[in-house]
Amino acid sequence: MFIIRKIVLVSTINAVVTPALQADVLPGVSALSETIVRESAIAFVNTTASPGLEGATLSVNDGAREQWRSSLGFAAEFTLKDYIFNGYWGLALVGGSLNDKFELTGDDGQLVQFDLTRDVVALRGSFGLSFPVNQYLKIRPYLSLSVSDLQTEILVDGLLTTGPIENTTTTAVFNTKAQMLSTIGSVEALYSRWYGDNRLELSAHYHLIHTDSFSEDNPVLQTKALNDVFQLKSTFSGPTGLTSIGRPWRWLAYANHTNFLSQDKFSLGYTSLFEFGVGMEWRMNIKPLDWFGWQMLGLRAGVITSKDVEGFNVGLTGR
Amino acid sequence: MLLICTSIISAACVQPVKLKGEGYVLIRSNYPILYFNGEQIEPAYRLDIEAGENTVVIVYNTYQHDYYCTFSWTAVANAVYEVTDQENQYPLTLYRWVRTNSLWASRLDPVDPLDCIEQEKGGELI
């Protein structure tokens, strides 16, 4: 008979790693490798804070993982007189959370249950150029710097502790923090064409992400990584005949695909997403600070799906 | 304090545009204005013009083509007009620019060009 004692350890994972078990993140659970911990943490940050991602609420593997992300940001081009190319800049504040429940078999054959919660807040700035190939096509390379603050809480149930008479299982909580600096090189190809009053927009996006991770309380997250993300986006929009304050509303339908190319499925349970939705755009056409054009404010609602993910996206967009 | 700072910052933002004189109109463009009322001029990004019927030709440059867009409109006295690219049906669109407040201006009454002539790169408008 096991006596289950609940204890709470607000400490680091490293604190329970003995010198002889440096390869193990958690003694007695060698199935939880450093690779899993690193890649899942970086994958979470990448799937939250990468450029081109919009808000989402995701349920992975029948509810075993729940993830959401939300962002408040703006991007715009600015004219460089006497040059064919334009400048491009963007700023975004991003937040997200992940709850992940999973089980591993301990080294002594016992079932170890994990309840992991990650929260991230990131600030991202982008700067680059936009090259108009012709009236319809632009190529836009840009560089982004993103600073993320990642907090993780892991509740582990089923760890074995050795007692004088018998082994007992315990529950432990580990809290860790990490700061991640991501340098992201992006290239986008944007095509748009009008058919009467209707407009078709197609774009392809590639992001190469170099992440430097720093953690004072978890050496496993003292690491670097290189990942890449590919996106295809399409939008079709048309007039509605509705106006507000003299400005027209347009309807839109969109379909997007995001593929986290270098992400292993074990990290978050998925590697790609499809999103389909509809929305409305209000062409407010203002110029904040008399500096850059803010054409529209929109409301979108979409469903997100893939082989391993179901979710939705409802949110405001601006352009 | 926040109010004072906000006021100072916002006052420095969208300023009323000074016009050349009563009855004049300012047109400013993100792309060079090449022709004004049929006359070729030195490429300019802003022009003080008289109110009334006016025609300008503005070039939108890309790496494959140059697009010479002709705008003809009735300019209202003491107004400010602005030409920019907004991925509309034509490469360029003319707006009436209105200072709404210190924080933003509005782009109103969009006018499409009469036409945009597509020329091969390096060609000239005939």
**How would you classify the pairing of strands B24-36 and B80-84?**
parallel
* A135: closest CA of chain B, how far (Å): 6
Q: Are A287 and B104 in contact (CB under 8 A)?
A: yes
Q: Which two tokens stand for residue B65?
A: 């083509």
* B58: closest CA of chain A, how far (Å): 13
More confident residue, B57 or A219: B57
Closest by CA to B71, choosing from B123, B106, B116, B118, is B116
Give the total residue count for chain B.
Answer: 126
**Is residue A5 in a domain?**
no
Q: Which two tokens stand for residue B15?
A: 């300023």
Q: How many CB atoms lie within 10 A of CB A235?
A: 19
Instruction: Give the helix/strand (H/E) hosting A35.
Output: helix A34-49
Q: Closest-CA residue in chain A for B117?
A: A135
Residue of A129, A130, A134 to mutate, testing the B interface (most B Cβ within 10 Å of its Cβ): A134
Q: Are A141 and A186 in contact (CB under 8 A)?
A: yes
**Is the pLDDT score of A97 beyond 80?**
yes
**Is residue A155 in a domain?**
yes
B103: chain A residues, CB-CB within 8 Å: 288-289
The pLDDT of residue B17 is 84
**Is residue A2 in a domain?**
no
Q: How many CB atoms lie within 10 A of CB B40?
A: 10
Closest by CA to A318, choosing from A277, A292, A282, is A282
| Residue B82: partners with Cβ closer than 8 Å, 6 or more residues away | B27, B28, B29, B94, B95, B96, B97, B107
Tell me how far apart the alpha carbons of residues A54 and A317 are, in angstroms, rounded to a whole number.
Answer: 9
Mean pLDDT value of segment A216-231: 93
Query: Count of domains in chain A?
Result: 1
First-to-last alpha carbon distance for chain A, in angstroms, is 63
Residue of B63, B88, B101, B120 to mutate, testing the A interface (most A Cβ within 10 Å of its Cβ): B63
- Say if A307 is an interface residue toward chain B (CB within 8 Å): no
Q: Are B76 and B51 in contact (CB under 8 A)?
A: yes
Q: Are A106 and A29 in contact (CB under 8 A)?
A: yes
A295: chain B residues, CB-CB within 8 Å: 86
- Say if A80 is an interface residue toward chain B (CB within 8 Å): no
Quick: pLDDT tens for B56-102. Answer: 999 999 999 999 999 999 999 999 999 999 889 999 999 999 999 88
- Say if A286 is an interface residue toward chain B (CB within 8 Å): yes
A133: chain B residues, CB-CB within 8 Å: 62-64
Please, what is the Cα angle at B43 between B37 and B46, to 5 degrees?
75
- Say if B87 is an interface residue toward chain A (CB within 8 Å): yes
Tell me how far apart the alpha carbons of residues B19 and B4 are, in angstroms, rounded to a whole number.
Answer: 29
* Collapsed DSSP state (helix, strand, coil) of residue A34: helix
- Say if B101 is an interface residue toward chain A (CB within 8 Å): no
CATH number, domain with residue A286: 2.40.128
The pLDDT of residue B25 is 95
Quick: pLDDT tens for A142-174. Answer: 999 999 999 999 999 888 776 666 667 788 899
Quick: pLDDT tens for A71-92. Answer: 988 888 888 988 999 999 999 9
Q: Domain range for residue A220? A: 12-318
Q: Are B81 and B25 in contact (CB under 8 A)?
A: yes
* B84: closest CA of chain A, how far (Å): 9
Note the pTM of the prediction, 2 decimals. 0.86
The pLDDT of residue A19 is 34
Residues 125-184 of A with CB under 8 A from B: 131-135
**Is residue A77 in a domain?**
yes
Which residue in B88, B91, B106 is closest to A286 by CB distance?
A: B106
Q: Are A113 and B45 in contact (CB under 8 A)?
A: no
Listed in order, strand segments (DSSP E) in A215-296 are 223-244, 247-259, 272-282, 286-288
Mean pLDDT value of segment A210-234: 94
Quick: pLDDT tens for A251-282. Answer: 999 999 999 999 988 888 899 999 999 999 99
- Say if A295 is an interface residue toward chain B (CB within 8 Å): yes
Per-residue pLDDT band for A23 (boundaries 50, 70, 90) equals very low
Tell me how far apart the alpha carbons of residues A13 and A36 are, in angstroms, rounded to a whole number.
Answer: 14
Cross-chain residue pair A135–B95, CB shorter than 8 Å:
no
